[in-house]
Amino acid sequence: MNLPSGSATVPTRERVAEFEVLGVTAFTTTRALGDFSLSEPATLEANTARWNAMQRALMPGQTGLVSARQVHGVAIAEHGDPWSGWHRIEGVDAHIVFAPAIAAAVTIADCVPVFVAHPSGVVAMVHAGWRGTAAHLIEQVIRRLAASGLAAEDLHLHLGPAVCGRCYEVGPDVYEQLTGSRTFRHRSVDLRGRIAEQAQGAGVGHLSASESCTRCDNDRFFSHRAGDAARQIAVIASRQDD
């Protein structure tokens, strides 16, 4: 399988332009690039081929791609040694990549893809739904990076396409876990806003966010809340020096 190239009117990726100056490529795929879900037997073969095609289509020097079966938890995988091909691991929602030959990806349909990059070339890719946000997963990733000598003030963090605050309605229990308030004043919560507050509180020096909502922009992105079973992926990779 070869990945489609898209067009000016139907792009295959939403790129994180702010990361280019760091030598980091980061993007979220769109509907135009197809479904990357691996949960449906009927589409498993075709979607597996699409994953393998994505790994082969990565930039020169990128030999490996890692993803995971996501569980809305707080497990963080670290990748320090390069490999070849696409590896899918179990039960992880965040990846920290120290090897420049490895790209990391998460699957999304409304949850927030959080891209993290350091000028040294170390990158992280995080899948944050309401559970991960309530558990302060991004702060745990930031602390893990700090333990490796990468200060929060030097990190660049981007919040990718996700369901917006107007579209993300929750019940009182979830509202309390996300906001800390027992007063259920609003049915909607801005997940990207909550994650941004956590990142800023942890000292992240550079923060940006996509304006795309997976539900409002359902013509471009798959959305669970809009009834889609398909998934797009968010990918980050540190470009190797020539």
Q: Which tokens go with 92?
A: 């992880």
Q: Residue 65 phi/psi, 5° resolution?
A: -135, 130
Q: How far apart are CA 68 and CA 87, in angstroms?
A: 8
pLDDT in tens, 23-42: 999 999 999 999 999 999 99
Average pLDDT of the segment spanning 69-88: 95
Sorted by where each begins, the domain ranges of the chain are 14-238
> Would you say 178 and 130 are in contact if contact means Cβ atoms under 8 Å apart?
yes
pLDDT in tens, 150-166: 999 999 999 999 999 99
Is 114 or 84 the better-scoring residue by pLDDT?
Answer: 114
Strand runs labelled E in 98-146: 102-108, 112-117, 123-128
Closest by alpha carbon to 230, among 42, 8, 16?
42
Q: How far apart are CA 107 and CA 198, in angstroms?
A: 22
Instruction: Name the band, by pLDDT with cuts 50, 70 and 90, for residue 10.
Output: low
48: Cα within 13 Å, side-chain hemisphere: 9
Tokens 């490895």, residue located: 102
Q: Any idea what DSSP says for residue 89?
A: E
Q: What CA dihedral angle connects 7, 11, 12 and 17, to 10 degrees?
A: 130
pTM of model > 0.85: yes
pLDDT in tens, 102-142: 999 999 999 999 999 999 999 999 999 999 999 999 999 99
Mean pLDDT of the chain: 93
With a pLDDT cut of 90, the percent of the chain lying above it is 82
> Would you say 86 and 52 are in contact if contact means Cβ atoms under 8 Å apart?
yes
Specify the pLDDT at position 166.
95
Phi-psi region of 14 (alpha: psi -120 to 50; beta: other; left: phi over 0): beta
Specify the pLDDT at position 13.
96
First to last CA, the chain: 28
14-238: which CATH architecture?
A: 4-Layer Sandwich (3.60)
pLDDT in tens, 172-193: 899 899 988 777 677 889 999 9
